[in-house]
Structure 1
Amino acid sequence: MFRSRFSLLALSPILLLILSSCTKEKHTAVYLDQAGVAWLDTVPTPSDLSSPEERAEYRLIHYWDGLVFTDETYTHDADFMSRVFDRYVSQLQEVDSATAYPAVEDLMRRAEADSVTYYVFTHLADGLYERGDYESYLPFARAIIASDYSSEDDKMIPEYQLSLVLKNRPGKPAADFTYNTLDGVSSMRSLLGERPLILFFYNVPCHTCHRVMADIQSSEILSAAISAGELSVLTVDKMGPLEEWTRSVKDELPKGWIHGYNYTDLYDTDLYNIKGVPTIYLLDKDGTVLIREASVASLEQWCLAHLSL
């Protein structure tokens, strides 16, 4: 008995060495920027990749090579993961969908190594949707929905959000709807055919909505385009109350714009993805979405680039 125990003790350093070499985990490779903030880096881009497209694709595919997905020191650090994820998304935007979709699919498959890590990535992806970066959100939603790792409950939100993202997408025809004016009922598409259209969805009591209307009015670029007949504006109140809308059309809302309301098809429905108000779309003269969730600045930039102002 004593001899057996002694032999085991004598061998234990060797056994420990073997076991440690077998179970030793890699650690995440991180770098520090000039401010001392830790971030991931990709492996150096090979010099034989000469075109910007090839280099962008290589950086995207290898971006996460330095991350050990089971290394909780980093993968469970929300601040670190948020920073490196944002850097990744900026690179995602440099490639086409044929490159982005499989790259994101591979990323989410690697994240399955740890349940918390996978949750972190799904949460970060959801943040893209919340801030309106729908094109970056698309490949993540598709990857989560297609994964066997995600439960059916996990897929419910991305499935719903994906259905909204795909509606009225830039480059696609905008959904038609009717609206009521002081003079009767009309349809959005009846305004098309001659000039681009700003769709301005709002709620009549919303102070921010009226401020943004005022910003459009005070914009020299936009007001010039509207006055010259090169751009139309349709405001649509989607909640009411009707009496207040009627008063505001007569006394407050900008003259020369078209003002309407629709309290059935736009309130709490999926016809348009209106997460908050105001929500602004820019359509071309044929009704194709040019910009969704537009800002005054993005409208001005488009007008300068496409109208003869």
Structure 2
Amino acid sequence: MNNRCFCALLLNVVLMCLGGTGTVLYAQVARHASLRLPVVPDSLTDTASRLTYVLEHYWDNMPWDDNGACADTTFVEQSMVDFLDLMSHADSTLATCAYAHFLDLLPKGMYGWLTDMTCEYLYTPDSPVYNTETFASAADAILAHRALDSYKLLVLKDRHASIMKNRVGHNAADFDLVTLDGERKRLYDAVAGSKRVLLLFYDPDCEVCAELEQRLALSDNVNAAIARKDLAIVAVDPFGTPEQQWREHASTLPRTWTVGYSPEGKVYEDEVYVISVAPVVYLLDGNMRVQVKDASGAQLASWLAQ
């Protein structure tokens, strides 16, 4: 995956696509050339209808029969990344329909390349457009299309099954954890009565995890929310770390948090939650419904500010 193809997030593209009227829409930022976006009719004035139009007509200007354009891998890849980022602003139904339409347009010789690219960009955590919800929408369309070979279908089905776990809007999976005092409890019992829950899966040896833990521990707003019982933080080592090593680290975390480990690393080994790279943060409401899955730093900051 060529991360240079995505030199800036496409917020500018989205704003121009959805906020402008009757103009050719493309991002005025330092980035590789990509597909010219469609002109949105002036009659479409609300954001949802404008986004729908852009997604439905995104590929109208793609010269599929031009071998030179299709052979320009940088141009095609940038256009693909832009499309995937736009999909992330749509609901799952629209995103799936838009991707299904794209699949119908694809020349046979490009099908494997661009579906592989889609999965790599949307499923890889360090991708600039990593998004599990958008991956699920694209995977739904690809699986329905039934054009991949049997091995790729098997891999896609396995990834799709993993993504479907603990989706936004659904209840988070309950599991056992053991706390510093040796008590074994269920996640739901540990946070009963809390209005919101920050569920953090960490690795004691992870520097990025330690940085996040410190920021949360030192945040006056977070600590005030915990004191009001508006927020509960549950930090869990899911990896089966040796207990003494886990204890040494866990003892440094705030006592106002619920800190525990997954017995025998079952949360990770049984894929109760899909944890590719620690830290992984789930943001839940008081009914244990997932509000944000695998939250980014920006998503976490926004959620905590609510």
> Do Structure 1 and Structure 2 share a fold, with TM-score over 0.5?
yes
Amino acid at match of 1:197: V
1:136-188 per-residue CA deviation (whole Å, 9 max, x = no partner) reads 21221112212232111121222111111111111100000001122321110
Q: How does 1:139-218 map to 2 (within 5 A)?
A: 139-181=137-179, 182-195=181-194, 196-218=196-218
Residue by residue, what CA displacement relative to the aligned partner does 1:172-209 show, whole Å, maximum 9, x if unpaired?
Answer: 00000001122321110102331122111112222221
Kept in 2: contact 1:43–1:62 (CA 8 A): yes
Rounded to whole Å, the distance in 2 between the matches of 1:243 and 1:297 is 34
**Contact conserved, 1:76 with 1:116, CA < 8 A, in 2?**
no
Are 1:75 and 2:75 counterparts?
no
CA shift in 2, pair 1:36/1:304, >3 Å: closer
CA distance in 1, matches of 2:27, 2:291: 40
Q: Who is 1:7 aligned against?
A: none
1:187 & 1:36 partners in 2: Cα distance? 48
Scaled by the length of structure 2, the TM-score of the pair is 0.80
Instruction: Determine the structure 2 residue equivalent to 1:93.
Output: 88
Say whether residues 1:232 and 2:232 are aligned partners: yes
Q: 1:278 — aligned with what?
A: 279
Q: Aligned pair in 2 of structure 1 residues 104, 234: CA closer, same or farther (>3 Å)?
A: same
Q: Any conservation in 2 of the 1:126–1:137 contact (CA below 8 Å)? A: no
Please say which of residues 295-304 and 79-88 is displaced more in the overlay: 295-304
How far apart are the structure 2 equivalents of 1:175 and 1:34? 42
Contact 1:75 1:81 in 2 (8 A): yes
Shift in CA distance, 237/35, structure 1 to aligned 2, threshold 3 Å: closer
1:115 corresponding residue in structure 2: 109
- Contact 1:203-1:209 within 8 A present in 2 as well: yes
The letter for the 2-side match of 1:261 is Y
Query: Alignment partner for residue 118 of structure 2, among 124, 130, 147?
Result: 124
Q: Write the distance in 2 (CA, Å) between the matches of 1:80 and 1:177.
A: 46
Q: Does the 8 Å contact 1:221/1:300 carry over to 2?
A: no
Structure 1 residues 50, 256: closer, same or farther in 2, change over 3 A? closer
In structure 2, give the amino acid aligned to 1:158.
L
Aligned sequence identity (%): 25
Query: In the TM superposition, what is the alpha-carbon distance from 1:288 to its structure 2 partner?
Result: 0.9
Alignment of 1:254-269 (within 5 A): 254-262=254-262, 263-269=264-270
Shift of 1:234: 1.3
CA apart distance, 1:114? 3.3
Q: TM-score, normalised by structure 1?
A: 0.80
Rounded Cα–Cα distance in structure 1 between residues aligned with 2:209 and 2:287? 26
SS at match of 2:34: strand
Q: Distance in 1 between matches of 2:228 and 2:29?
A: 51
Change (3 A) 1:36 1:199: closer
Aligned CA distance change for structure 1 residues 55 and 253 (closer, same or farther; 3 Å): closer
Counterpart Cα distance in 2 of 1:260 and 1:208: 19
| C-alpha distance in 2 between matches for 1:187 and 1:297 | 29
Structure 1 residues 62 and 197: alpha-carbon distance in aligned structure 2, compared to 1, 3 A threshold = same
1:292-303 counterparts in 2 under 5 A?
Answer: 292-303=293-304
